[in-house]
Structure 1
Amino acid sequence: MSPPKPTIILVHGAWHGAWCWKFQIPALEALGYAVEAVDLPCTSGIAGTTQFDDAAYVRSVVKSHLSADERVVVLAHSYGGPIASAAIKGLADQGVLGLIALCAYVFPGGMDQGAVIRDMGGLPYATWDVPSEGLFLVNDPRSFFYPPDVAADEVNWAMPRLRPQSMAANMGIVPPQAWEDDSYVGRLGYIRCTADLVIPIQLQDDMVAGAGGLEKWVVHTLEGSGHSPFLSRPHEVAAAVQEIVDVFEAKM
């Protein structure tokens, strides 16, 4: 008898919350997965919250499932990529099957994100210290997160649910990363989205290549998808997750 399917832990990106997975959760459940979506501290409205705070919270959720003898796969979007990777570091032999990054950032541990952003002259798409000191917002999320494939109804549903993001989370140091460990070779997945405006496809590919390429990562492509396929293409995302998890299982 094959073991039960792993539980999928969903980690959202900046300015989002667990709400953003509303359509993704039933698509995964239809394939037989148990699912939990987290709300990261960085979007709680508390200035000063860091990536380490976010990673510690996700790790606590992951470990609660491991303590119940469940196996876990973490699916992370955008900013959530380094958070999820930090959260599962050292847990490869304790029940964590792997990590799947959904058009997500892949950064090395110890990277000074603040220095990189300052060298870029800031983030042109964001307004700092709004709505209050230490928080920031995207200037035009409607044109940034959702083109070209999220339907207008879903955009209108999502827009008022976006939350201010802690500046410290984006301007700080990246925690130590699980993807850098040999124990996760072949148990890392990346779902690339070719029409993403937030993380252009070339940057997605460059990050995966710089993180070990196809020797470490199982890559699946969503052609024509923008940055929010959990809204526009939840069943395609679920199918990609299934294919990647099957590869993870074969590696075990």
Structure 2
Amino acid sequence: MSSTTKPTIVLVHGAWHGSWCWRFQIPTLEALGYVVEAVDLPCVSGVAGITQFDDAAHVRSVVEAQISMGKRVVVLAHSYGGPIASAAIKGLADKGVLGMVALCAYIFPGGMDQGAAIRDIGGLPYVTWDVPSEGLFLANDPRSLFFPPDAPADRTDWAVPQLRPQSMAANTGIVPPQAWQDDSYTGRLGYIKCTADVVLPIAQQDGMVAGAGGQEKWVIRTLEGSGHSPFLSRPHEVAAAFQEIVNEFEAKL
């Protein structure tokens, strides 16, 4: 049975970003009646050595604080934030977490060695390691990577200077245990695909979703022609897709 009270949304940003990136997304979600909490992950604090486990623990503390106040929670996670959010909600499916929605986000299995996977593909050509200092890294050309083809120029100009160095350990370490691999979240997982994404091409998005259970496990929506930053380019479409997914979560209760 669904609840008449909308869940609180916890927003989890991707690599190099921060809670600031949701500036245009938050009002569209609030207009639909949601309460929104946006986190800042430790991995972009400028401290080398921060891992996915650290980021997941931080998100979990925010989720558990909401649950302790009697709130139900849905986590909306972008890009790198996918595995972080999935780790953060593990074991909380019957304790107040309604589900998770991944926004053009990575889906990785728990225990995966990301460093080994990166080495196997010959590295990441779009990043510079150990810059601006040892243990941190940056995207080489974020303007061409994160925002084409549909982010408005003025919003891109606003976003680029706010990107921050990322802890290398967060992207080259072990993936924490993942909630999406638990049967308890089947049907309470959502994925919003972006067909013109440069960072995470649509074929990779499709492959990850298929490998993680496909439509049997995930509620899927697609933003045609959207790049990697739909929270800047298409916040109203993201909000509409999110609400459709959450309504399907609710119908399964």
TM bin, normalised by shorter chain, reads over 0.9
State the secondary structure of the residue aligned to 1:235: helix
Give the structure-2-normalised TM-score.
Answer: 0.99
For 1:122 and 1:78, how far apart are their aligned partners in 2? Answer: 18
Residue 159 in structure 1 maps to residue 174 in structure 2 = no
Question: 1:146 maps to which residue?
Answer: 147
Once the two structures are TM-superposed, the CA of residue 2 in structure 1 deviates from its matched residue by: 4.3
Structure 1 unmatched ranges of 5 or more: none
Task: Name the aligned partner's letter for residue 207 of structure 1.
Answer: M
Alignment of 1:64-143 (within 5 A): 64-143=65-144
Q: Deviations over 1:140-188 (max 9, x none)?
A: 0000000000010000000000000000000000000000000000000
For 1:230 and 1:157, how far apart are their aligned partners in 2? Answer: 13
For 1:2 and 1:94, how far apart are their aligned partners in 2? Answer: 15
Give the structure-1-normalised TM-score.
Answer: 0.99
State the secondary structure of the residue aligned to 1:76: strand
For 2:68 and 2:82, how far apart are their aligned partners in 1? Answer: 23
Task: Name the aligned partner's letter for residue 111 of structure 2.
Answer: G
Q: Deviations over 1:92-138 (max 9, x none)?
A: 00010000000000000000000000111211000000000000000
Task: Name the aligned partner's letter for residue 10 of structure 1.
Answer: L
State the secondary structure of the residue aligned to 1:174: coil
Alignment of 1:210-225 (within 5 A): 210-225=211-226
The number of residues matched between the two structures is 252
Question: 1:234 maps to which residue?
Answer: 235
Question: 2:18 maps to which residue?
Answer: 17
Question: 2:41 maps to which residue?
Answer: 40
Q: CA distance change for structure 1 residues 98 and 2 in 2, over 3 Å: closer, same or farther?
A: closer
Q: Deviations over 1:169-224 (max 9, x none)?
A: 00000000000000000000000000000000000000000000000000000000
For 1:121 and 1:191, how far apart are their aligned partners in 2? Answer: 28
What root-mean-square deviation, in Å, do the aligned CA atoms of Structure 1 and Structure 2 show? Answer: 0.8
Task: Name the aligned partner's letter for residue 129 of structure 1.
Answer: D
For 1:51 and 1:251, how far apart are their aligned partners in 2? Answer: 30
State the secondary structure of the residue aligned to 1:49: coil
State the secondary structure of the residue aligned to 2:118: helix
Question: 2:177 maps to which residue?
Answer: 176
Q: Deviations over 1:56-110 (max 9, x none)?
A: 0000000000000000000000000000000000000001000000000000000
For 1:215 and 1:121, how far apart are their aligned partners in 2? Answer: 33
Percent of paired sites with the same residue: 79
For 2:231 and 2:84, how far apart are their aligned partners in 1? Answer: 18
Once the two structures are TM-superposed, the CA of residue 3 in structure 1 deviates from its matched residue by: 2.7
For 2:14 and 2:252, how far apart are their aligned partners in 1? Answer: 28
| Matched-pair contact (CA < 8 Å) for 2:150–2:227 | yes
